[in-house]
Structure formats: structure tokens, C-alpha cells
Structure 1
Amino acid sequence: MPTPETTRCLTLAQFLRGADWRLSLPHGRPYALFLWITRGQGRVTLLGRRHGFGAWSAILIPPGTLAMMDFGAQALGYAVMIPADAVDILPAEPHLLRVRETLSQAELTAVIDAMQREQSTHRPFGEEALLAHAGLLSVWLRRALSNEAPAPPPRAAERLAAAYCALIERDFRNGDSMADHAAALGVTPTHLSRTCRQTAGLTAADILTGRVLHEARVRLEDGDAPVRDVAEGLGFSSAAYFTRFIQKHTGAAPTALRRRAHQ
């Protein structure tokens, strides 16, 4: 999904259209993503902590938040994308809310329905109207959060996993290893990996590998930079090493992935 220049609202089916890896691999987005799940279930991992969700779940993923998503086949709902220059209207932390009150469900659905109508009519000042609706969405979210019981303080394992994921999202292009990140966090690689498996269901190395692989595929399949430039931009020592990395994790060479995406 290209980075939106304006606020956009899609059905979940429209949002999910395309390669599964774009959601299932660890990744951060340059824009805020708000998901409103009205049917079905799935899992989302936010900053190294895995959560299950079902119908009537609201999920906020701020820009630059490392996340993974897996939606069940029956999942229905909406995805709202808000550009980074407008995200100051939203909370700065990721949230997952299970919305049980019928009135609150109806209020949020009404805001999203209004966004969809605004998009479909193409009236003057539509971008301003969509941003105003995004502001109403933010008000709804902050009200819903104010009604929630205070969350317990994060456990040590959750704090470490979140710190690791934030470090990955900041530095994954540098070519640093998982052990390098563990040293920066003052823990052993074994402890870090055990912690991530506990909170996210993946080892620390798997999370880092997945983030690099996601970015590599985005650059290969959505861009036209030479493979050697993609490899260099992600901290690989050589294009040959990068090619082996891509082949190992996708079963195809970088040029084959690009060619397949453009067919």
C-alpha cells in the first residue's frame, strides 16, 4: 500500500488486497493506521507484544511502530490511513480496544461511514473534510481510552521487547546484527531471544530478519533501484550476500521478485 498523501478510508478487503507478506512480516509505516474490525478475528503484534482480536476491535498503529498483522479469512472492517503530518491529532502510543458498548460501536461506525461518503462524492474541500473526520475519530478514541480501566504497568519482558522493536525500526538499515542490538540494550542475545519468543512468538533474530526482508521486498517490488543499491541501502556487505538472503527467505532471486511483481 503506497503512503497516502491525504487521509484515506478503505474497507478491510481493499486494504488486505495484495501480497500477504506486506502485513505478516514485521514492518513500520510512515503514516498512522487505524483499524476497525467489525467481524472475524486475527492477531496483531505491536512493539513485540502479540495480541488476539475479534469483532468490534479498534487498533491504532502510530507511524514508525513495528507491527505484524494476521487476519482471519472472515475478517471484515475498515482501515483508515492518516498521513504523518496530521497524526498529532491521535494518541502517540499503539492501542488495541475491544469495544463492547453498542453506542460506542455505532458512533465509530458513523464516523467511518462519513469518511467513505466524503471520498466517494469528490466534493470541493474533500481533503479538509476527511481530516476533520479523522479528528472526530481521534476524539472517539480518546474518549474510549478514558473509559478503560488503567492498564497494568508493562512487565520487564514487555519493556525489553518494545525497546528492541523500537531499536530495530530505527536502525534496521545499518546492517547491525541481533547481537549488536542486544549489546546496545545491555542484555545477552540469549535473554533477548527468549524474551521476544515469550512476548511475540518469534525469536529476536526472526523479528530483525523479517523487518529487513519486508523493506527489501518493498524496495525491490515497488521501486526500480538497482539490486546493488538496495543491498547497500540495507547494510549488506555485497549484492551477492543480499541475493542469497532474498533467495533463502523467498525462494526467488531479487530480479525474479521484481519481475513477478510487475507482471
Structure 2
Amino acid sequence: MGNTVSAAEIAATQIVHPNLTASEPQKPHHHEHMKQYAQGEIPPECPMHQKAAPAKPTAAGECPVKHDNTDINPLNMMPPANQQPAPDQPFLLPTERQVSSIPKSIVNEGESAFWVYPSQQMFWNAMLRKGWRWKDEDIKEKDMDDIIKIHNANNEQAWQEVLKWEAMHASECCAPKLKSFGGKASNYSPRARIRQMMGYELPFDRHDWIVDRCGKDVRYVIDYYDGGAVDKNNRFALLDVRPAMDSLDNVWDRMKVAWYRWMYSNE
């Protein structure tokens, strides 16, 4: 799942060259978390109330991409899965994939009900499509394993942040699902540009996720900021996740969250 190739390139650089760090921003980026998003508790029967299950391995042939005559899947903006080694690849890579904890809105016959992450081989091929060349880096087999773990951890973290927002709508939908997603690394959000004018660094990547709120499509914007070294949980990105300001409901949600954050910051 995902096409965070720019994130992978940064992670690969840190893994291969651990002494190199990203340029320091003029001001530190603070990723704030609220104590809670709504006054009421999430109903215990809600799936989002439960802790996410760890990602599970799946058969190499299982794929969330619909294989037809189109080159790009509109649900994830990715071409058909390519599990074949590249012609000049220096070593073989695993083709096993992991099932995420992120439920799919559209499930075709024979597919998993959850989004499936790419294998190391698929990610290698995706990076090559984006212009990355392994000969420019002293990359090793273990580096690809680390990159996949980082990629998957970022997606799991992003979904948990989405669920915090969706908790405000638990009374109308207990089981939100991810319908589609796409990367927009070079299309900075207005919020990111405003932060840049205030002296903060720009995000190294951006995703837009469409969440199915029990029949209602809700767009989320996710900005990925460099958080420094990779931690023990395979995370290095600071995520700014919020509903896009393209509907009155989303604007109202963001106003409420801003108010809650202001109240808690003054306790």
C-alpha cells in the first residue's frame, strides 16, 4: 500500500549513511496530540475502539490492485504489481507481503478485506520507476527490509491519526474504511506553505486519503515531516493528519479540534 517513494529515499539515505541528517528547520516542528477529540466515549462495540492488530504476512500472490487493462489503479494511483526482479538488480528480494490493519472500502472477490502492503521487490521496482538508481547508493539487502518496515509503520500511524478524527463521528459510523489514496509529494498543502512562511520546513511528502465514513467520502490530507533518526518502532516521520477543508463538516471538525487543543494547552 502507498507510494511513499520519497519517504523511502530519505529512509534509505539515513539507513545507508547514518551520519547524514536532514537540514535543520528554522523552527522545530511540533506534532501535537489531543487528549481526546469528543466529549463522549467511543462505543465499546466500535471496531475503532479496539487496538489495531499487528500486520500479518500474506501470500505473495495476494494483491489489492485490480489487474485489468488499465495501467493505473484509481484506488491507489499505482500500476499493476510487479514482483519481477529488475534486470540489473544486485540481489534477490522477498516477494512476501503483509496485510495492514487498514480496512478497505471496496473489496473484490478473492481479496483481503484489508489493504496489503507492497513486498520488498515491489517497492524496489516502484523506486526505480520514480527515477531512483541503486548504483548511486551503497544499499544492502537489509536496507530494503528496513525501508519496508518504515513505510508500513508510517501508514499504520497515519490510519491511527485518521481514527482519532473519525472518533468524533462514532455515533454515525463505527467502522470507517479507507477507500482510496494517492501521493502528492510536490503539491504542497496551503497549511504547509503557511508554515513555511512562518519559518518551518516543508514536508517531504504528502498523501490524500479518501475515507469511507459508512457511505460518505471524507478526504484527509497527510503531510509527512522529517523527524530525524528512525526509532525502535521504525518511525522517523512526523505526521500532520487532518480532514481537508472541502466541506462544512470538515471545517467544523477542525474548528472543534482547534478549540479543544487551545483548552488543553491552557490547563
Q: If the TM-score is normalised by the length of the shorter chain, which range does it land in?
A: under 0.3
Higher relative contact order (CA 8 A, sep 6+): 2
After TM superposition, the score normalised by the length of structure 1 is 0.23
Return the TM-score normalized by structure 2: 0.23
Q: Which structure carries more helix by proportion?
A: 1
